[in-house]
């Protein structure tokens, strides 16, 4: 399987090199040259597989023999044995037409674990096979950092540095990251917001000489391995519904969206041949993607802090992958759009192109009040507690699920991670023991200003 860049200047690299490259050396994002197609017969064969068995089949399509099957199986088994639920991503029925896919049974109680447990093990495998050092650098709006750190803490041959926006992640997220005391972990708390952190990382990675000298590797969802790992649960949810006799025909998915990684995985699953109906893109007040789908204008707006901080994102790092398919896999057209975005801060589509966007996605932005009301209502009516991100997805699902359709709303985090919001509606929850224990541990982090040079200086000391 060959991987290429959305900007056309990287081509012919394999899976492992695509994982190591992260962001394309030409500034684009890496995608498979051809998306593998899964036939109806294969779908039928996959229907009864366990989660790890299914992950192995899907990963095998994209790694295409580069990692021997036994090794790949070991990587998959190691990555999902840390999950607390035997189904890895169990599906819960809420009401007719609405199911919630619980993606938060990994070590840090958010869906990021599904991809980052795998990516951590994969990096460790590659480091061992190639006998090379790996320095991971990433930015987080809260969940990625915790999950990435958990994926590689204490592992030989790997160091990890995570930037988070100071004071703009939830208490539990901060504790999950900063109470880790392994020497291969550095937390930088950046004065600024998530977009500042992401910009610093992007610029440091764009310095190809620096990236190569220090063996810098990415864990942000620009890494194709993360997208790949996230396609699995779309298939798995579909099969769980089919096995229960509920989901004949197509299934809609509603996805709380920030960097567009998770929903892009759904888009990819659909392109592979999974019978996905609507892909419902749910945002909070940071609704650049909702405006793009509904109005055809992709333009960062004012930054809002919300109850769903992992979606407080203006510039969605995976969006370019979708643009590539929207432009008929034309890298020249994508490069022109991204250059226009750099200069004018805006991308506009209209006519037939906008109609295509609206065939691919439905979108709703769910504001704070609506988010809390949804948590309260689902708790009252069905005795099920949603976290604020998931609540955005559930509210959007309610708007777009027609009678006789079935929508799976992705539950991207456990509510205990976002108790700040849950408390506001006077719901008392019991924390899982693993989360409760964090409050007694000392924290390790360094405050830096939001400049590339300050971050670079800390990195040079750490590496």
Q: Please identify every residue annotated as catalytic.
A: 112
Q: Can residue 258 be called a binding residue for ligand PLP (CB under 6 A)?
A: yes
Q: Can residue 165 be called a binding residue for ligand PLP (CB under 6 A)?
A: no
In 3D, which of 395, 375, 386 has the Cα closest to residue 285?
395
Number of residues that bind ligand PLP (CB under 6 A): 16
Say whether 30 sits in a helix, a strand or coil. Answer: strand
Q: Can residue 311 be called a binding residue for ligand PLP (CB under 6 A)?
A: yes
Q: Can residue 256 be called a binding residue for ligand PLP (CB under 6 A)?
A: yes
Residue 23 pairs in a beta bridge with: 29
Residues in CB range of 444: below 8 A, 6 or more apart: 178, 179, 180, 181, 185, 187
String of DSSP letters for 180-195: ---TTEEEEEESS-HH
Nearer to ligand PLP, 106 or 157 (CB): 106
By CB under 6 A, the residues from 382 to 411 that bind ligand PLP are 389
Nearer to ligand PLP, 24 or 261 (CB): 261
The window from 116-124, 252-260, 324-332, 436-444 that contacts ligand PLP (CB under 6 A) reads 252-260
Q: Which of 282, 413, 421, 435 binds ligand PLP (CB under 6 A)?
A: 413
Please state whether 249 falls in left (phi above 0), alpha (psi between -120 and 50) or beta.
left
The window from 13-21, 47-55, 175-183, 259-267 that contacts ligand PLP (CB under 6 A) reads 259-267
Q: How far is the CB of 253 from ligand PLP (least distance, A)?
A: 13
Q: Can residue 143 be called a binding residue for ligand PLP (CB under 6 A)?
A: yes
Tell me the C-alpha distance between 365 and 301, whole Å.
13
Answer yes or no: are the C-beta atoms of 393 and 370 closer than 8 Å.
no
Q: Can residue 164 be called a binding residue for ligand PLP (CB under 6 A)?
A: no
- Residue 245, token pair as written in the block: 């006799």
Q: How far is the CB of 66 from ligand PLP (least distance, A)?
A: 25
Q: How far is the CB of 93 from ligand PLP (least distance, A)?
A: 21
Nearer to ligand PLP, 46 or 104 (CB): 104
Q: How buried is 144 (Cβ within 10 angstroms: 0-12 exposed, 13-18 middle, 19+ buried)?
A: buried
Answer yes or no: are the C-beta atoms of 30 and 251 closer than 8 Å.
no
Nearer to ligand PLP, 116 or 216 (CB): 116
Q: How far is CA 269 from CA 45, 115, 246, in A?
A: 16, 15, 20
Answer yes or no: are the C-beta atoms of 134 and 123 closer than 8 Å.
yes
Q: How far is the CB of 264 from ligand PLP (least distance, A)?
A: 8
Q: Can residue 5 be called a binding residue for ligand PLP (CB under 6 A)?
A: no
Tell me the C-alpha distance between 435 and 117, whole Å.
18
Site of tokens 């769903």 = 308
Q: Can residue 259 be called a binding residue for ligand PLP (CB under 6 A)?
A: yes
The window from 42-50, 151-159, 254-262, 334-342 that contacts ligand PLP (CB under 6 A) reads 254-262
Give the interface with ligand PLP as residue ranges (CB under 6 A): 110, 112, 143, 221, 256-262, 310-311, 389, 412-413
């Amino acid at each position: 399987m060959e991987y290429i860049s959305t900007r056309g200047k990287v081509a012919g690299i394999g899976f492992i090199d695509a994982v190591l490259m992260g962001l394309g050396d030409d500034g684009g994002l890496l995608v498979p040259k051809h998306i593998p197609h899964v036939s109806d017969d294969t779908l039928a064969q996959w229907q009864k597989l366990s989660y790890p068995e299914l992950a192995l089949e899907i990963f095998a399509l994209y790694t295409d023999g580069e990692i021997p099957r036994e090794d790949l199986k070991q990587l998959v088994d190691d990555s999902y044995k840390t999950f607390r639920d035997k189904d890895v991503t169990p599906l819960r029925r809420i009401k007719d037409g609405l199911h919630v896919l619980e993606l938060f049974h990994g070590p840090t109680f958010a869906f990021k674990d599904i991809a980052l447990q795998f990516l951590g093990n994969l990096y460790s495998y590659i480091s061992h096979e190639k006998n090379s050092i790996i320095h991971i650098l990433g930015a987080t709006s809260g969940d990625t950092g915790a999950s990435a750190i958990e994926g590689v803490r204490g592992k030989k041959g790997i160091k990890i540095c995570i930037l988070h926006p100071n004071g703009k992640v939830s208490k539990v997220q901060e504790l999950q990251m900063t109470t880790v005391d392994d020497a291969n972990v550095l937390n930088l708390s950046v004065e600024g917001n998530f977009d500042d952190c992401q910009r610093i990382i992007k610029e440091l990675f764009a310095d190809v000489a620096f990236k190569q000298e220090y063996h810098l590797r990415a864990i942000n969802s620009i890494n194709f391995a993360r997208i790949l790992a996230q396609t699995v649960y779309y298939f798995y949810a579909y099969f769980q519904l089919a096995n229960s006799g509920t989901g004949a025909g197509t299934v809609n998915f509603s996805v709380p969206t920030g960097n567009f990684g998770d929903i892009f995985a759904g888009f990819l699953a659909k392109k592979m041949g999974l019978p996905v109906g609507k892909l419902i893109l749910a945002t909070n007040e940071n609704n650049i993607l909702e405006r793009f789908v509904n109005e055809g204008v992709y333009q960062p707006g004012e930054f809002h802090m919300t109850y769903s901080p992992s979606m407080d994102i203006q510039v969605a790092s995976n969006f370019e992958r979708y643009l590539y398919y929207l432009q008929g896999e034309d890298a020249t057209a994508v490069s022109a759009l991204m250059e226009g975005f750099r200069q004018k801060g805006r991308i506009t589509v209209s006519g037939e192109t906008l109609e295509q966007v609206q065939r691919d996605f439905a979108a709703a932005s769910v504001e704070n009040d609506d988010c809390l009301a949804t948590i309260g209502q689902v708790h009252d009516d069905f005795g099920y507690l949603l976290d604020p991100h998931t609540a955005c997805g559930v509210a959007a699902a309610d708007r777009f699920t027609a009678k006789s359709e079935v929508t799976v709303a992705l539950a991207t985090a456990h509510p205990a991670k976002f108790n700040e919001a849950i408390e506001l509606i006077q719901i008392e929850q019991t924390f899982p023991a693993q989360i409760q224990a964090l409050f007694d541990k000392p924290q390790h982090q360094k405050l830096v200003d939001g400049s590339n040079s300050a971050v670079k200086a800390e990195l040079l000391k750490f590496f």
